[in-house]
DNA sequence: GATGATAGCGGG
DNA sequence: CCGCTATCATCC
């Protein structure tokens, strides 16, 4: 249909999933209905066709660009809710990543290419009653089929029929003569039952800690009253729920969700780890039935698709998921819970480098919702926000049933080394305690935040270590695989017979990880049932869930692992926690090193003594006087906060300042440094209320054959956006650098 | 991130 | 001069 010459052009703004591209303008051809905000459209982009998302359906034509027509409107209705589009746009701007990637994250993977449906269907057959015209069954098989179907009022699916010996061909011939009716129906791929051999639905863990109807402690009652009052106001508000480990935060989330859903609004719950999702989601499902959905990247594409569409249709009141669930298409949100808000896994370490907790707060503002950030060890950021009056603080200082916190013993490993040599991994104290628990049939956790068997292999002749050919780190020996592996690029190599540098024949292993500890314990305690959880043992889907379930059911005596075992789990029979080296990470050139150490120690110590028997923790360290270890041992958050905040303020680190970390990559270190220096110069010229530090080679100067130079932009927290604006302007002037530069706003790790 | 344009290279 | 690969700007 030719458009009338007077009608104005219909122009829309579209975000395309291309890194570094802003929103683009397209024309809607005359006669085509203008797609709404949040709908997907197929658009031409250079020489190809991509699926984009409508960001503004009523835009003005751009001044200096030739317009092209959209090729197809995929969705007549908004595919993404408008709030989610706004949230993605905010993320794209705040984290300097552009809108495309953020919008892509907001969609299920099955929809990113513009596909219309990805539902799984099954054919259901049922008997057509009163079909007088139909001929009688022609054979034994058909007669059998009719009998079976006659006894199944709702009909049966073809797979069900096949299981009873009725083939699809039989059913189809009956359908052809009108005796049977066939219908396609959608079956939901259900992550609650998938991969769970015992059929326990995955909610093995926290179940007994939160029996419905159990009386709350006085503290819990007060906290719930305050939180409920906030939720009832239906206004944006952020509350930090600071409760010691085992104080019953989860129960408060459940009751609060009950109040909010009863008032007709919905609930979004973020958890830091995929491994924690099934447990918490299972609890919500036990309380709230089927109106609960799960969202995390560990689901299969099909499951994710189905869960997403359940949410989008409004079939769901509660969504439990990891950071990307902050973009869930849930409408009328009244409550957002961010559990373990201090966890670093909320930060995405690739574009868009958003922080799930902070985006949750922004979403809460957009939705007029109550945001509850829960933690036993709040981030410095959240603590500072409470102090500044931006967040409200609610506190749980005691454990449920008044269970005592675990007693903590710090073992000075320097004395241990002096007495028994540098190879000691388990102190006498820890060994005795483990033996004692084994004898009593109680469980122990052994934490070491370093995986592998030996962290370094070095040559005794020249002293050199075996390094990754592509990265500037040494390779770790993994005994199960009998290979050396790079923990940065996954490069794997056989263990060489001789030193590559000097041909020396004596290669020695040094340093140890969880794999070595597991072997040590197996040798020391031959009868013990020992399991290990770290990134090497979790490759298979559901593997962690299975091991953790085994621990919960008492099938494991000693669980060895990295930080993955420290988080959130409730193991009532664990009475001992051993931290083999509290120092891993303390030596890193990262301003959060002490915070991470304190949090990890506090969390893991909190795993002990959650049942009837009081818990004990043994922390081995060579820095027994370090404030993060002392405060963790004393379980004194306030003491840690005071010291750490002083450090951040004096040395100008977050949350005292706003920080942007910029990494420039290059084929040589010189190229990277030169590029970084150019940007630094330009950022200084542009000027902002702040300081630029660097550039310098990054802590790991080479990763995957690329050299990396780094600089920081620090600005007053009141001028947070100025720093980002300055680096974006500098990059706009240097498109050659833009492609090899990473801008990390509010970085969690600066390594 | 993908694509088409272009530069750089060796073989005939 | 052709055909191949590496590099790079552009995408509305």
Tell me what pLDDT residue A477 has. 93
A211, pLDDT greater than 90 = no
| Contact present, A564 and A551 (Cβ < 8 Å) | no
Q: Answer for A45: CB within 7 Å of strand C.
A: yes
Q: Answer for A178: CB within 7 Å of strand B.
A: no
Q: For residue A1, what pLDDT band results from cuts at 50, 70 and 90?
A: very low
Nearest protein residue to the C1' atom of B1, measured from CA: A18
Q: Answer for A113: CB within 7 Å of strand C.
A: no
| Contact present, A696 and A710 (Cβ < 8 Å) | yes
What does the alpha-carbon distance between residue A642 and residue A594 come to, in Å, rounded to a whole number? Answer: 13
Residue A596: CB partners within 8 Å, gap ≥ 6? A344, A585, A590
Q: Where are the beta strands (DSSP E) in A244-330?
A: 266-270, 292-295, 318-321
Strands A483-485, A266-270: parallel, antiparallel or unpaired by DSSP? Answer: unpaired
Tell me what pLDDT residue A331 has. 97
Q: Answer for A61: CB within 7 Å of strand C.
A: no
Strands A237-243, A392-396: parallel, antiparallel or unpaired by DSSP? Answer: parallel
Q: Answer for A671: CB within 7 Å of strand B.
A: no
Tell me what pLDDT residue A65 has. 79
Say how far A745 CA is from C12 C1', in Å. 28
Q: Answer for A48: CB within 7 Å of strand B.
A: yes
Say how far A525 CA is from C10 C1', in Å. 64
Q: Answer for A29: CB within 7 Å of strand C.
A: no
Tell me what pLDDT residue A540 has. 67
Instruction: Say which range, A117-121, A306-310, A325-329, A630-634, has the weakest mean pLDDT.
Output: A117-121
Q: Please compute the mean of the pLDDT values over residues A357-372 and round it to a whole number.
A: 98
Percent of chain A surpassing pLDDT 70: 95
Q: For residue A682, what pLDDT band results from cuts at 50, 70 and 90?
A: very high
Q: Please compute the mean of the pLDDT values over residues A255-275 and round it to a whole number.
A: 94
Say how far A438 CA is from C9 C1', in Å. 66
What does the alpha-carbon distance between residue A622 and residue A424 come to, in Å, rounded to a whole number? Answer: 12
Say how far A705 CA is from C5 C1', in Å. 21
Say how far A737 CA is from B6 C1', in Å. 20
Tell me what pLDDT residue A204 has. 39
Q: For residue A213, what pLDDT band results from cuts at 50, 70 and 90?
A: low
Q: Answer for A62: CB within 7 Å of strand B.
A: no
Tell me what pLDDT residue A199 has. 34
Percent of chain A surpassing pLDDT 90: 70
In this complex, the nucleotide whose C1' atom is nearest to the CA atom of residue A24 is: C12
A23, pLDDT greater than 70 = yes
Helix (H, G, I), strand (E, B) or coil at A168: helix
Average pLDDT, chain A: 91
For residue A440, give Cα distances in angstroms to A185, A435, A437, A573, A613. Answer: 55, 9, 5, 11, 12
Q: Answer for A735: CB within 7 Å of strand C.
A: yes
Tell me what pLDDT residue A202 has. 38
What does the alpha-carbon distance between residue A446 and residue A439 come to, in Å, rounded to a whole number? Answer: 17
Tell me what pLDDT residue A404 has. 85
Q: What is the pLDDT of residues A612-661, one digit of tens each?
A: 888 999 999 999 999 999 999 999 999 999 999 999 999 999 999 999 99
A549, two tokens: 């379930």
What does the alpha-carbon distance between residue A470 and residue A185 come to, in Å, rounded to a whole number? Answer: 51
Say how far A46 CA is from C3 C1', in Å. 25
In this complex, the nucleotide whose C1' atom is nearest to the CA atom of residue A65 is: C12
Say how far A706 CA is from C4 C1', in Å. 27
Q: Looking at strand B, which nucleotides approach a protein CB closer than 7 A?
A: 1-4
Q: Please compute the mean of the pLDDT values over residues A562-587 and round it to a whole number.
A: 89
Q: What is the pLDDT of residues A498-532, one digit of tens each?
A: 998 899 899 999 999 999 999 999 999 999 999 99
Say how far A649 CA is from C3 C1', in Å. 63
Q: Answer for A740: CB within 7 Å of strand B.
A: no
Tell me what pLDDT residue A568 has. 67
Whole-prediction pTM value? 0.92
A197, pLDDT greater than 50 = no
Say how far A701 CA is from C7 C1', in Å. 24
Tell me what pLDDT residue A441 has. 94
Q: Which of A126-140, A316-330, A558-572 has the highest mean pLDDT?
A: A316-330
Residue A395: CB partners within 8 Å, gap ≥ 6? A219, A223, A242, A243
Q: What is the pLDDT of residues A407-433, one digit of tens each?
A: 999 999 999 999 999 889 999 999 999
Q: What is the pLDDT of residues A159-186, one digit of tens each?
A: 999 998 888 899 999 999 888 999 999 9
Which window residues (386-415, chain A) lie with Cβ within 7 Å of strand B?
none
Q: Answer for A671: CB within 7 Å of strand C.
A: no
What does the alpha-carbon distance between residue A407 and residue A632 come to, in Å, rounded to a whole number? Answer: 11
Q: What is the pLDDT of residues A215-259, one digit of tens each?
A: 899 999 999 999 999 999 999 999 999 999 889 999 999 999 999
Q: Please compute the mean of the pLDDT values over residues A701-709 and round it to a whole number.
A: 90
In this complex, the nucleotide whose C1' atom is nearest to the CA atom of residue A667 is: C7
Tell me what pLDDT residue A132 has. 67
In this complex, the nucleotide whose C1' atom is nearest to the CA atom of residue A67 is: C12
Tell me what pLDDT residue A393 has. 98
Q: Which residues pair with A270 in a beta bridge?
A: A321, A338
The number of beta carbons lying within 10 Å of the beta carbon of residue A435 is: 14
Q: For residue A689, what pLDDT band results from cuts at 50, 70 and 90?
A: low
Say how far A236 CA is from C7 C1', in Å. 51
Say how far A402 CA is from B4 C1', in Å. 70
Tell me what pLDDT residue A359 has. 98
Q: Which residues pair with A243 in a beta bridge?
A: A396
């Amino acid at each position: 249909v030719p458009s009338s010459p007077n009608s104005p052009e219909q122009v829309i703004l579209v975000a395309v999933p291309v890194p570094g591209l802003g929103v683009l303008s397209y024309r809607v051809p005359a006669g085509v209905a203008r797609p709404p905000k949040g709908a997907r459209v197929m658009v031409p982009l250079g020489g190809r066709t991509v699926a984009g998302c409508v960001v503004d359906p009523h835009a003005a034509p751009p001044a200096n660009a030739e317009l092209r027509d959209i090729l197809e409107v995929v969705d007549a209705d908004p595919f993404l809710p408008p709030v989610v589009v706004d949230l993605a746009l905010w993320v794209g701007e705040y984290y300097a990543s552009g809108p495309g990637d953020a919008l892509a994250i907001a969609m299920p993977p099955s929809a990113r290419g513009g596909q219309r449906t990805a539902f799984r269907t099954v054919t259901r057959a049922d008997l057509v009653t009163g079909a007088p015209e139909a001929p009688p069954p022609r054979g034994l098989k058909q007669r059998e089929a009719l009998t079976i179907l006659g006894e199944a009022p709702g009909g049966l699916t073809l797979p069900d029929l096949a299981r009873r010996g009725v083939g699809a061909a039989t059913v189809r011939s009956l359908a052809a003569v009108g005796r049977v009716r066939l219908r396609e129906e959608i079956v939901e791929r259900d992550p609650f039952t998938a991969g769970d051999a015992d059929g326990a639905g995955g909610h093995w863990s926290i179940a007994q800690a939160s029996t419905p109807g159990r009386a709350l402690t006085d503290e819990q009652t007060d906290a719930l009253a305050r939180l409920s009052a906030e939720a009832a106001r239906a206004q944006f508000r952020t509350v930090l729920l600071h409760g010691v480990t085992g104080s019953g935060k989860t129960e408060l989330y459940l009751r609060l969700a009950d109040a909010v859903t009863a008032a007709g609004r919905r609930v979004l719950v973020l958890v830091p780890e995929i491994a924690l999702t099934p447990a918490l989601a299972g609890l919500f499902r036990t309380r709230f039935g089927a109106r609960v959905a799960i969202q995390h990247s560990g689901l299969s594409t099909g499951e994710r698709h189905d869960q997403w569409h359940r949410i989008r249709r409004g079939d769901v009141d509660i969504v439990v998921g990891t950071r990307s669930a902050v973009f869930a298409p849930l409408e009328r949100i009244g409550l957002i819970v961010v559990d373990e808000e201090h966890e670093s896994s909320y930060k995405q370490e690739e574009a868009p480098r958003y922080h799930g907790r902070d985006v949750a707060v922004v979403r809460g503002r957009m939705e007029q919702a109550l945001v509850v950030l829960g933690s036993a060890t709040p981030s410095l950021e959240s603590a500072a926000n409470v102090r500044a009056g931006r967040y409200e603080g609610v506190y749980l200082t005691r454990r449920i049933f008044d269970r005592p916190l675990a007693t903590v013993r710090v073992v000075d490993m320097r004395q241990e080394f002096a007495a028994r040599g540098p190879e000691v991994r388990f102190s006498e104290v820890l060994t005795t305690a483990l033996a004692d628990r084994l004898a009593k049939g109680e469980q122990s956790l052994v934490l070491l935040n370093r995986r592998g068997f030996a962290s370094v292999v070095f040559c005794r002749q020249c002293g050199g270590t075996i390094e990754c050919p592509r990265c500037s780190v040494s390779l770790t020996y993994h005994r199960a695989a009998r290979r050396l592996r790079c923990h940065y690029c996954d490069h794997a190599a056989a263990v060489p017979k001789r030193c590559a540098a000097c041909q020396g024949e004596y290669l020695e292993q040094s340093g140890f990880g969880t794999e070595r500890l597991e072997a040590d314990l197996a040798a020391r305690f031959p009868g013990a049932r020992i399991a290990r959880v770290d990134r090497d043992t979790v490759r298979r889907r559901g593997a962690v869930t299975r091991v953790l379930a085994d621990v919960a059911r008492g099938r494991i005596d000693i669980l060895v692992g990295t930080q993955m075992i420290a988080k959130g789990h409730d193991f009532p029979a664990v009475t001992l926690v051993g931290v083999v080296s509290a120092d891993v990470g303390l030596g890193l050139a990262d301003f959060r090193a002490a915070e991470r150490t304190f949090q990890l120690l506090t969390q893991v110590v909190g795993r002990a003594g959650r049942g009837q028997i009081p818990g004990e923790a043994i922390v081995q360290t060579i820095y027994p006087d370090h404030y993060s270890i002392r405060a963790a041992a004393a379980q004194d958050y306030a003491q840690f906060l005071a010291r750490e905040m002083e450090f951040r303020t004096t040395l100008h680190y977050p949350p005292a300042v706003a920080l942007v970390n910029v990494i420039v990559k290059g084929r040589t270190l010189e190229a990277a440094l030169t590029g970084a220096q150019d940007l630094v110069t330009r950022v200084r010229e542009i000027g902002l209320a702040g300081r630029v530090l660097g550039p310098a080679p990054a802590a790991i100067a080479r990763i995957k054959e690329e050299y990396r130079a780094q600089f920081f932009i620090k600005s007053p927290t009141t001028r947070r956006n100025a720093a980002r604006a300055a680096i974006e302007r500098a990059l706009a002037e240097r498109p050659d650098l833009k492609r090899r530069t990473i801008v990390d706003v509010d970085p969690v790790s600066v390594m």
